[in-house]
């Protein structure tokens, strides 16, 4: 049969104080070990769950930083591409300007009669009369229309619509018929019409000799080489599978709910997208060179405009990236302030508790001695 042990009030009071001190020391040691004053919801429900909510949001935003960083690199890759494309287009422009400085040696015939218009009417002697124009290989033939007036428009169309012919027929600004061999060859005028009818158009039967300008041909080859490099560079301007210069688009998400985003529309800036056509007729005529230069000027304008657009988008993304980093830091600091322990304070507490424990142990020993004095009565 067990019996209870009776302690004096002094011993019991000192024992309780020692136990309380031990509990406080255990709690303080836990705070020093974990670095937190709130480790579970039992310690402080409000602080624990608020800190957890802030930490979760900080974690969500932190995970978005990777995608924002990728977006930044994608835009920078596109910007690098635009910079290099601009240099290539400028190189092509310099080549075309060199071609322009080299005199064209293509055959060109300009009529002597000014003031002609598309509606100008000439009546041929017979509806079997013809005018032929030959580029050395292909012949264009205009046959008179029976019982009708023959207009300059009809004659020009008959020449220009002949398949594979290298001669371009047009009216000059002062209304003269002009026949130009686009490939550096000859212009041969003939036909069965009378000399007078040709004369009414300002033309004379015969051959005008032209030659291929080898300097222009060489420059045209260089031009097409640059054009190929433009295609290759545009295709290589992507990052992580997204190429804003090859028609891809990019959507950047800035917050954890996906309600704050930026959509960046890509462009196709190869030679076709920039409207830079291959050299035509190996740049043998000034018209083809001028057209190429015009296309290159337009392409440069497009590249510079797009660079401004991408630069603006990059600025926004970088600003949001910096903002997100700052927000993650703010949320984490706020969460930590709710649960982290002050190591200096807890260290001081531990020192005080150790002193209190030592004093409590001494007091308990003194209280026990008063009970031991009864034993002396039996000695």
Spatial CB neighbours of 7, under 8 Å, sequence gap ≥ 6:
15
Q: Are residues 238 and 196 in the same domain?
A: no
Range of the domain at 135: 108-211
Q: Are residues 272 and 251 in the same domain?
A: yes
Q: Are residues 182 and 238 in the same domain?
A: no
Buried b / exposed e along 91-105 (16+ C-beta atoms within 10 A): bbbebbebbbeeebb
Cross-strand pairs, 45: none
Last residue of a domain, one of 291, 314, 332: 332
Q: What average pLDDT does the segment 190-218 reach?
A: 85
Q: Are residues 90 and 171 in the same domain?
A: no
341/107 Cα distance (integer angstroms) = 93
Q: Which two tokens stand for residue 88?
A: 């290539």
Q: Are residues 116 and 186 in the same domain?
A: yes
Q: Are residues 186 and 307 in the same domain?
A: no
Last residue of a domain, one of 166, 191, 211: 211
Looking at residue 352, its pLDDT comes to 74
Does residue 178 contact residue 106 with C-beta atoms inside 8 Å? Answer: no
Looking at residue 144, its pLDDT comes to 78
Domain assignment of residue 44, yes or no:
no
Average pLDDT of the residues of the chain: 85
Going by the DSSP 8-state scheme, the letter that residue 110 receives in this structure is E
The answer, as to whether pTM is greater than 0.75, is no
SS3 category, 356: helix
Site of tokens 């031990």: 22
CATH code of the domain containing 182: 2.60.40
Q: Are residues 96 and 125 in the same domain?
A: no
Going by the DSSP 8-state scheme, the letter that residue 278 receives in this structure is P
Looking at residue 4, its pLDDT comes to 66
Domain assignment of residue 379, yes or no:
no
Q: What average pLDDT does the segment 57-67 reach?
A: 88
pLDDT of 216 higher than 90: yes
Number of domain units in the chain? 2
Looking at residue 23, its pLDDT comes to 65
Looking at residue 129, its pLDDT comes to 81
pLDDT of 341 higher than 80: no
Q: Are residues 150 and 232 in the same domain?
A: no
């Amino acid at each position: 049969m067990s019996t209870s042990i009776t302690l004096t009030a002094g011993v019991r009071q000192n024992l309780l104080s020692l136990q309380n001190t031990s509990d406080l020391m255990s709690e303080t040691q836990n705070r020093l070990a974990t670095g937190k004053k709130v480790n579970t919801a039992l310690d402080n429900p409000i602080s624990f769950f608020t800190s957890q909510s802030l930490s979760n949001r900080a974690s969500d935003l932190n995970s978005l930083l990777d995608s924002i960083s990728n977006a930044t690199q994608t835009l920078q890759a596109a910007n690098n591409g635009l910079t290099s494309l601009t240099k290539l287009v400028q190189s092509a422009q310099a080549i075309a300007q060199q071609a322009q400085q080299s005199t064209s040696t293509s055959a060109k015939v300009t009529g002597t009669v000014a003031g002609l218009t598309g509606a100008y009417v000439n009546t041929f002697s017979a509806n079997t009369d013809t005018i032929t124009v030959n580029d050395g290989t292909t012949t264009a033939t205009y046959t008179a229309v029976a019982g009708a007036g023959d207009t300059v428009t009809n004659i020009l169309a008959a020449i220009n619509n002949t398949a594979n012919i290298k001669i371009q027929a047009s009216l000059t600004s002062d209304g003269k018929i002009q026949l130009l061999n686009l490939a550096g060859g000859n212009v041969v005028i003939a036909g069965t019409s009378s000399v007078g009818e040709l004369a009414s158009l300002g033309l004379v039967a015969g051959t005008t000799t032209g030659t291929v300008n080898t300097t222009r041909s060489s420059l045209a080859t260089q031009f097409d080489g640059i054009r190929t490099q433009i295609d290759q560079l545009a295709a290589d301007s992507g990052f992580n599978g997204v190429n804003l210069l090859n028609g891809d688009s990019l959507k950047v998400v800035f917050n954890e709910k996906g309600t704050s985003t930026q959509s960046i529309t890509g462009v196709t800036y190869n030679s076709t997208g920039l409207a830079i056509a291959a050299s035509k007729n190996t740049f043998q005529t000034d018209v083809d060179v001028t057209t190429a230069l015009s296309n290159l000027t337009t392409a440069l304008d497009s590249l510079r405009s797009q660079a401004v657009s991408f630069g603006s988008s990059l600025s926004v993304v970088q600003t949001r990236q910096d903002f997100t980093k700052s927000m993650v830091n703010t949320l984490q600091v706020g969460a930590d302030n709710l649960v982290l322990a002050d190591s200096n304070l807890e260290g001081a507490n531990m020192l005080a508790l150790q002193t209190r424990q030592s004093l409590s142990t001494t007091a308990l020993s003194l209280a026990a001695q008063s009970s031991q004095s009864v034993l002396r009565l039996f000695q």
